[in-house]
C-alpha cells in the first residue's frame, strides 16, 4: 500500500468504482430489455410447410424471414409438422398470452385437406383463430394452400374457397397459394411431392413478403433500412 494513502479513501474509491460498474450494467440491461420490448413480434402458426419439414430448420422460409428482418422484429415459429387447424386453434390462446404478437401469420389447413376433413370445420377453426388474434390486438395474415386434384373438384373448390371467404369476411390480407411457383416444379419439391425443398424456401418467402411487409411497416418496422435477399 502506498505510504500516506488513507485506507478509507481506497475503500471509498473502490465503492464508487463498483457503483459505477453496477449502474452501467443496470442501464445496459434496461436498454436491452427496452429494445426487445420495442420490437414487434410475428407469430407464425403453421404446419410442416412452415416447420421446415425434411430440411434444416435454418433453411426454412420462417428462418429466412427472421434473417431478413435483421433484428427489427422477433419471429416466433410455433409451427408443428402434421398440425391441423383444430390443433392450432387449441394452442393459440396460450401463445397469444405468452408472446403478445403484433402480427399472427396463419398457415394451416393442408393436413385438414389431406385427411379429407370437412372444409366447414376448417373454416370454423380458422375463424376462431382470426377472432382470437384480433381480440388480442394482433393483425392477421392468412396463407392459402391447395390440395392435390385427386381429391375431386368439388372438395378442392370448397377447400380453397375457405381462405378467400375468410379473408373477405374479416378483411384480411391473403396469400392465395403459398406454394405458387413451387408446387408444380419437381426440382423444388421433395420426393413425397408435398413438401418443398430447401431451394424452394426463398421463393416461398417472396410469396409471403408482399402481403406481410405492409403489416410490418404498420407495426413500426423500417423496411427501407433492411437489406433484402
Q: What is the pLDDT of residues 119-165, one digit of tens each?
A: 999 999 999 999 999 999 999 999 999 999 999 999 999 999 999 99
C-alpha cell at 62: 420462417
In contact, 172 and 204? CB cutoff 8 Å: no
pLDDT at residue 203, as a whole number = 98
First to last CA, the chain: 60
What mean pLDDT comes out for the span 94-110? 98
Compute how many other C-beta atoms are within 10 angstroms of the C-beta atom of residue 10: 12
Known catalytic residues are 48, 192, 195
Taking CA atoms, 160 is separated from 56, 68, 165, in Å, by 29, 29, 9
Please give the mean pLDDT across all residues of the chain.
90
What is the reported pLDDT for 36?
47
| More reliable by pLDDT, 1 or 12 | 12
Q: What local confidence, expressed as pLDDT, does residue 32 receive?
A: 39
- pLDDT, one tens digit per residue, over 32-66 is 344 445 799 999 999 999 999 999 999 999 999 99
Q: Which H helix or E strand runs over 134? A: helix 119-135
Neighbours of 92 (CB within 10 A): 21
Amino acid at each position: 500500500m502506498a505510504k500516506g494513502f488513507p485506507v478509507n479513501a481506497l475503500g471509498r474509491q473502490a465503492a464508487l468504482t463498483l457503483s459505477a460498474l453496477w449502474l452501467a450494467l443496470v442501464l445496459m440491461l434496461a436498454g436491452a430489455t427496452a429494445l426487445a420490448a420495442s420490437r414487434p413480434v410475428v407469430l407464425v402458426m403453421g404446419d410442416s410447410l412452415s416447420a421446415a419439414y425434411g430440411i434444416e430448420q435454418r433453411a426454412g422460409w420462417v428462418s429466412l424471414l427472421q434473417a431478413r428482418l435483421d433484428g427489427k422484429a422477433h419471429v416466433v415459429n410455433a409451427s408443428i409438422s402434421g398440425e391441423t387447424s383444430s390443433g392450432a386453434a387449441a394452442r393459440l390462446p396460450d401463445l397469444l398470452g405468452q408472446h403478445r404478437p403484433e402480427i399472427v401469420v396463419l398457415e394451416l389447413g393442408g393436413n385438414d385437406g389431406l385427411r379429407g376433413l370437412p372444409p366447414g370445420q376448417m373454416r370454423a377453426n380458422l375463424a376462431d383463430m382470426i377472432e382470437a388474434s384480433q381480440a388480442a390486438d394482433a393483425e392477421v395474415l392468412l396463407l392459402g394452400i391447395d390440395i392435390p386434384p385427386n381429391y375431386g373438384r368439388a372438395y378442392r373448390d370448397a377447400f380453397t374457397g375457405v381462405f378467400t371467404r375468410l379473408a373477405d369476411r374479416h378483411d384480411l390480407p391473403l396469400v392465395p397459394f403459398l406454394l405458387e411457383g413451387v408446387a408444380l416444379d419437381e426440382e423444388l419439391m421433395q420426393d413425397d411431392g408435398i413438401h418443398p425443398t430447401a431451394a424452394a424456401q426463398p421463393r416461398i418467402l417472396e410469396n409471403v413478403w408482399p402481403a406481410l411487409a405492409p403489416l410490418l411497416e404498420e407495426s413500426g418496422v423500417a423496411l427501407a433500412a433492411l437489406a433484402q435477399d
